[in-house]
Amino acid sequence: MLTITELKQLLSAPKKIVITTHHKPDGDAMGSSLGLYAYLIQLGHHVKVITPTDYPEFLHWMPYNSEVLVFTEHLQESAKLVEEADLIFCLDFNSLSRINELGELVGKSSGYKIMIDHHLDPQDFDDFRHWSINACAAAQLVYDFIVNELNGAEYIDKYVATCLYTGIMTDSGSFRFPSATSEVYRIAADLIDLGAEHWRIHQLVYDNASENRLRFLGHCLSNKLTVIRAYNTAIITVTKEELNQFQIVTGETEGIVNYALSINGIKLAAFIVERPDRVKLSLRSMGDFPANEICSKYFNGGGHRNAAGGSSDGTLLEVVEKFKQILPEYKSQLLM
């Protein structure tokens, strides 16, 4: 493993750098990636952000978004950049499987790999690790990495601040999750002082929905919501035909699970959607209930205690039935 002194030495002269993040990037993934990009280019490095897949249009307003390369749309260029990179920053993921086919290229690259992440059980593919499961977002760790590890606070301009604030805001649930500690609020205040327009960022992320998305949300809540009071659980299920019917694009299902969790008395919520390749689950929970345990134990996934995800090769009906059959195992925790 590299020491921080060795990493600083590497960064003391211009390098070829790739920044990547998990597939189907969310606000934290793009906020941390573009925030780090905005910092590194000020130091004279040659930097490219490569995402494994596309990402929601409501994040395309972010600073330097035009510099992002989507791997699935630029295979050869992306492969060349990864192969020639001196350093590869891996943000908001800790297993190469989380970046799909791009993971094989990153694993083979001779460039140093720097992991900045807050998920459980990191895979040992990195050369330097800035990691904590206590951070509310990867963007919080990027802030800490720049300020406290690299002593680069002077380089946090309004563009860096805007990106990092976006990451922290989205992954903390607009600062309402338990992970939004007093330290997180102090970092957010610092980023606002440095130029992040918090009101505008919130508007661009949360008040920027398509008409299709709103109609789809209404359909989910009116027709697809099942409440299981015996286990304080709510489930929303969606077929691939319904996704096509409402012309749902990347990112437009994000956050719908939270509506199920907002029902009075509900402790666990699931959004289960049939994608073209497999069935995906998003779980959210209240208090100490381990949503991540269910995902890691039964659905090939993981995440945080209150926000986790998984997938299955089974049919939508099979996955929903399996999820329901799991609930009795957690009955005492769900009824606490």
**CATH code at 131?**
3.90.1640.10
Neighbour order of strands in the sheet with 16-21: 68-70, 46-51, 16-21, 87-91, 112-117, 128-131
232: region left, alpha or beta (phi > 0 left; psi from -120 to 50 alpha): left
pLDDT surpasses 90 at 177: no
The string of pLDDT tens digits covering residues 286-318 is: 999 999 999 999 999 998 899 999 999 999 999
Residue 13 shares a structural domain with residue 104? yes
> Range of 12's domain?
4-206
Q: Containing H/E element for 113?
A: strand 112-117
Distance CA 153, CA 156 (A): 6
Q: How many domains does the chain have?
A: 2
The neighbour count for residue 298, using CB atoms within 10 Å, is 17
Residue 253 shares a structural domain with residue 218? yes
Distance CA 127, CA 3 (A): 9
Residue 74 shares a structural domain with residue 123? yes
Domain C-terminal end among 151, 186, 206: 206
For the segment 304-333, the average pLDDT, to the nearest whole number, is 96
What does 13-64 look like in DSSP terms, one character per residue? S--EEEEEE-SS--HHHHHHHHHHHHHHGGGT-EEEEEESS---GGGTTSTT
CB-based contacts of 264: which residues, under 8 Å, 6+ apart?
none
For the segment 5-30, the average pLDDT, to the nearest whole number, is 97
Band the pLDDT of 141: cuts 50, 70, 90: very high
For the segment 182-191, the average pLDDT, to the nearest whole number, is 98
Residue 52 shares a structural domain with residue 73? yes
Q: Do the beta carbons of residue 115 and residue 128 sit within 8 Å?
A: yes
Give the pLDDT confidence score for residue 92 in this predicted structure. 97
Residue 127 shares a structural domain with residue 257? no
Residue 64 shares a structural domain with residue 180? yes
Distance CA 88, CA 104 (A): 13
For the segment 66-85, the average pLDDT, to the nearest whole number, is 98
pLDDT surpasses 90 at 163: yes
pLDDT surpasses 90 at 229: yes
Residue 263 shares a structural domain with residue 220? yes
pTM for the model stands at: 0.92
Residue 200 shares a structural domain with residue 215? no
Residue 194 shares a structural domain with residue 319? no
CATH number of the domain that 310 lies in? 3.10.310.30
Give the pLDDT confidence score for residue 245 in this predicted structure. 97
Residue 15 shares a structural domain with residue 146? yes
Give the pLDDT confidence score for residue 336 in this predicted structure. 86
pLDDT surpasses 90 at 212: yes
pLDDT surpasses 90 at 178: no
Degrees, nearest 5: CA angle 119-19-170: 50
